[in-house]
């Protein structure tokens, strides 16, 4: 009888131990998250879209990923873009992400959305430049390459909207204008520099047409209320 009771007690103990299982798996601390998808969805998808094709600059674009230097993409995430909705994410700049996590984001974007094979042997225009463009030449470039969609004065046509709208130009940095001219906007049917109407845009033509666009950023009443944008400050 005693041996039976001991056997039953042993079985019950085993059942109890099995039911309890091992120690609960703890969720990783914020600094320990090392998964690209988790980091991107938590920090980037709100503006750039869950698939990288949001209202912010489209990150899921092979042309953009080929164009922007890796160190620049990293710098943008670390420090943000003053005067734009892009905040600083790096801990060194007051954000919440470690250097390792930012590197995971950069590597993941270029791995998932870059297609370097498409640009083998292609001479990409410089991402940024310190050279000043020529407004007069830029006007000619605009008429040749851009006016079929944006209208002869840039105020929009049946195909595409205005690119000289004061509100747009007050918020768009010089680099954003340059990047858009080079990469186009695939989701909206705007071709990149290679497929511009007529022939591919040359680097100097890109610089000149950006200067022409910038020359329309003039309304003093609006510009006084918007932080001044100088230099290449937008991805």
Q: Is residue 16 part of a domain?
A: no
Residue 210: Cβ within 10 Å count: 24
Q: How far is CA 58 from CA 34, 62, 179, 214, 218, in A?
A: 23, 10, 11, 22, 27
Q: Is residue 70 part of a domain?
A: yes
Domain carrying residue 179? 135-223
pLDDT, residue 84, reads 82
CATH number of the structural domain spanning residue 98: 1.10.760.10
Whether residues 71 and 97 fall in one domain: yes
Computed over every residue of the chain, the mean pLDDT equals 85
Whether residues 90 and 38 fall in one domain: yes
Q: Is residue 3 part of a domain?
A: no
Domain boundary among 87, 119, 151: 119
Whether residues 35 and 106 fall in one domain: yes
Burial of 148 (0-12, 13-18, 19+ CB in 10 A): middle
The angle that helices 203-214 and 174-183 make with each other, rounded to 10 degrees, is 130
Q: Is residue 189 part of a domain?
A: yes
Whether residues 106 and 143 fall in one domain: no
As a whole number, mean pLDDT of residues 178-199 equals 91
pLDDT, residue 191, reads 93
- Taking the C-alpha atoms of residue 154 and residue 141, their distance in angstroms, rounded to an integer, is 12
pLDDT at 232 over 80: no
- Taking the C-alpha atoms of residue 235 and residue 127, their distance in angstroms, rounded to an integer, is 9
Q: Is residue 39 part of a domain?
A: yes
Phi/psi for 90 (5° steps) reads -75, 140
Q: Please, which pLDDT band fits residue 112 given cuts at 50, 70 and 90? A: very high
Joined together, the tokens standing for residue 152 give 């002869």
pLDDT, residue 197, reads 84
As a whole number, mean pLDDT of residues 97-118 equals 96
Whether residues 45 and 108 fall in one domain: yes
As a whole number, mean pLDDT of residues 204-214 equals 97
| H or E element that contains 206 | helix 203-214
pLDDT, residue 220, reads 52
Q: How many domains does the chain have?
A: 2
pLDDT digits (tens, 9 = 90+) for 43-98: 999 999 999 998 777 899 999 999 999 999 999 999 998 878 899 999 999 999 99
Whether residues 35 and 101 fall in one domain: yes
Tokens 């498409």 belong to 118
pLDDT at 13 over 80: no
Q: Is residue 19 part of a domain?
A: no
Q: Is residue 172 part of a domain?
A: yes
Domain boundary among 90, 119, 148: 119
pLDDT, residue 22, reads 55
Q: Is residue 178 part of a domain?
A: yes
């Amino acid at each position: 009888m005693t041996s039976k009771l001991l056997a039953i007690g042993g079985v019950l103990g085993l059942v109890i131990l099995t039911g309890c299982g091992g120690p609960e798996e703890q969720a990783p601390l914020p600094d320990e998250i090392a998964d690209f998808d988790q980091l991107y969805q938590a920090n980037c998808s709100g503006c750039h879209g869950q698939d990288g094709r949001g209202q912010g600059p489209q990150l899921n674009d092979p042309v953009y990923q080929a164009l922007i230097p890796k160190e620049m993409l990293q710098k943008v995430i670390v420090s943000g873009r003053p005067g734009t909705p892009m905040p600083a994410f790096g801990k060194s700049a007051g954000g919440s992400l470690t250097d390792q996590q930012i590197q995971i984001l950069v590597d993941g974007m270029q791995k998932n959305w870059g297609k370097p094979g498409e640009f083998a042997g292609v001479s990409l225009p410089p991402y940024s430049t310190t050279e000043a463009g020529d407004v007069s030449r830029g006007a000619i470039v605009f008429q040749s390459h851009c006016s079929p969609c944006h209208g002869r004065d840039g105020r929009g046509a049946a195909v595409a909207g205005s690119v000289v709208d004061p509100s747009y130009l007050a918020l768009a940095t010089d680099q954003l204008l340059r990047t858009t001219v080079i990469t186009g906007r695939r989701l909206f049917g705007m071709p990149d520099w290679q497929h511009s109407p007529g022939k591919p845009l040359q680097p100097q033509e890109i610089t000149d047409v950006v200067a022409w666009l910038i020359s329309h950023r003039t309304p003093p009443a609006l510009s006084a209320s918007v932080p001044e944008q100088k230099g290449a400050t937008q991805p």
